[in-house]
C-alpha cells in the first residue's frame, strides 16, 4: 500500500530509491583507500611508476656510467718530435711502461693490438680501433662493448711557448665503469707521460 502523495510524505518507492543512493555513496566511499585515492587511480599510478623504473633501467643499460681520466705533461720539443715518437708504435716496448706492445698500422679505421701493463701488476690485451690520426696534433683509439664498457683513448699535442703540452686522456662509458681500476689506470698514464717526455727530450 502506498502513502498519499498529497499529505507531504514520500512514496515507498521514493524512499527505497533514496536508500539505494545512500548505499551507493557509502560503497564508493569505502572503495577509497586511506590516502583518498580510488584503487583504479592508484593502479594507474603504480603502473606509471613501474614504467618509469623500467625506462630508467634501460637508460642505465645503454648509457651506463661515464668517467674520464685526464693527465698532461709539458715536453721541451716540437709537435713533430713528439708525434714521431707516438706514431712509431713498434718501438713502444723500448720506453713505454704502460703500453708495452702496440701492433698494427696507426691508420684510421684499422684494428690494432695493445698490451697494457698496469702499475698494480695486472695485464690486459686490447684490440681497439684507430679513430683519429691527425699528424702532429691527435692520436685516438677506442673500443669495447657499447652499454657494458667502452673507452676512447686520446693523445693531443698543443704547442706552447716553451715546447709542447701533451694531453693524455680517456673517457669510459658503460655499466661496468664503476668496477674499472681507474686510479691505477691514471697512474699508468702519468708514468707513460714521463717516459714519453724523457724519450723525446733525450732523442733531440
Q: Can you give the pLDDT at residue 46?
A: 72
Query: Looking at the predicted structure, is the pLDDT value of residue 158 above 70?
Result: yes
Determine which helix (DSSP H) or strand (DSSP E) holds 183, and give its type and residue range. helix 182-202
Q: Can you give the pLDDT at residue 42?
A: 65
Domains, the chain, in order of start with CATH, read 9-59 (no CATH), 64-202 (3.30.530.20)
Instruction: Count CA within 13 A, CB hemisphere, residue 68.
Output: 9
Are residues 203 and 77 in contact, defined by beta-carbon separation less than 8 angstroms? no
Instruction: Count CA within 13 A, CB hemisphere, residue 130.
Output: 19
Query: Looking at the predicted structure, is the pLDDT value of residue 160 above 70?
Result: yes
As a residue count, the chain comes to: 204
Q: Can you give the pLDDT at residue 2?
A: 46
Are residues 47 and 53 in contact, defined by beta-carbon separation less than 8 angstroms? no
For residue range 105-147, list pLDDT tens digits in order: 999 999 999 999 999 999 999 999 999 999 999 999 999 999 9
Give the closest residue to 187 by CA, choosing from 137, 116, 124: 116
Mean pLDDT of 94-102: 98
Assigned C-alpha cell, 19:
536508500
Mean pLDDT of 192-196: 99
Q: How many whole angstroms separate alpha carbon 138 and alpha carbon 131? A: 10
Are residues 164 and 78 in contact, defined by beta-carbon separation less than 8 angstroms? yes
Q: How many whole angstroms separate alpha carbon 139 and alpha carbon 114? A: 14
Query: Looking at the predicted structure, is the pLDDT value of residue 188 above 90?
Result: yes
Q: Can you give the pLDDT at residue 45?
A: 72
Output the DSSP codes for 49-81. HHHHHHHHHHHHHHHBEEEEEEEEEEESS-HHH
Q: Can you give the pLDDT at residue 38?
A: 54
For residue range 10-69, list pLDDT tens digits in order: 555 555 555 666 666 565 555 555 555 555 666 777 776 777 666 655 555 555 689 999
For residue 1, give Cα distances in angstroms to 11, 12, 43, 114. 10, 9, 48, 101
Query: Looking at the predicted structure, is the pLDDT value of residue 4 above 60?
Result: no
23 vs 93, residue with greater confidence:
93
Amino acid at each position: 500500500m502506498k502513502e498519499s502523495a498529497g499529505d507531504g510524505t514520500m512514496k515507498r518507492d521514493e524512499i527505497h530509491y533514496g536508500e539505494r543512493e545512500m548505499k551507493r555513496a557509502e560503497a564508493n566511499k569505502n572503495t577509497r583507500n586511506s590516502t583518498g585515492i580510488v584503487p583504479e587511480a592508484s593502479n594507474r599510478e603504480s603502473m606509471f611508476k613501474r614504467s618509469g623504473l623500467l625506462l630508467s633501467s634501460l637508460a642505465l643499460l645503454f648509457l651506463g656510467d661515464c668517467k674520464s681520466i685526464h693527465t698532461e705533461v709539458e715536453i721541451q720539443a716540437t709537435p713533430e718530435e713528439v708525434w714521431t715518437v707516438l706514431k712509431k708504435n713498434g718501438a713502444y716496448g723500448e720506453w713505454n711502461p704502460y703500453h708495452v706492445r702496440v701492433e698494427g698500422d696507426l691508420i684510421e679505421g684499422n684494428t690494432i693490438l695493445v698490451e697494457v701493463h698496469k702499475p698494480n701488476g695486472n695485464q690486459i690485451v686490447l684490440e681497439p680501433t684507430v679513430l683519429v690520426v691527425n699528424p702532429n696534433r691527435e692520436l685516438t683509439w677506442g673500443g669495447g662493448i657499447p652499454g657494458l664498457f667502452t673507452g676512447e683513448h686520446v693523445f693531443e699535442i698543443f704547442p706552447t711557448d716553451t715546447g709542447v703540452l701533451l694531453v693524455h686522456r680517456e673517457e669510459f662509458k658503460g655499466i661496468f665503469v664503476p668496477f674499472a681500476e681507474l686510479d691505477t689506470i691514471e697512474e699508468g698514464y702519468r708514468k707513460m707521460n714521463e717516459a714519453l717526455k724523457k724519450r723525446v727530450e733525450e732523442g733531440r
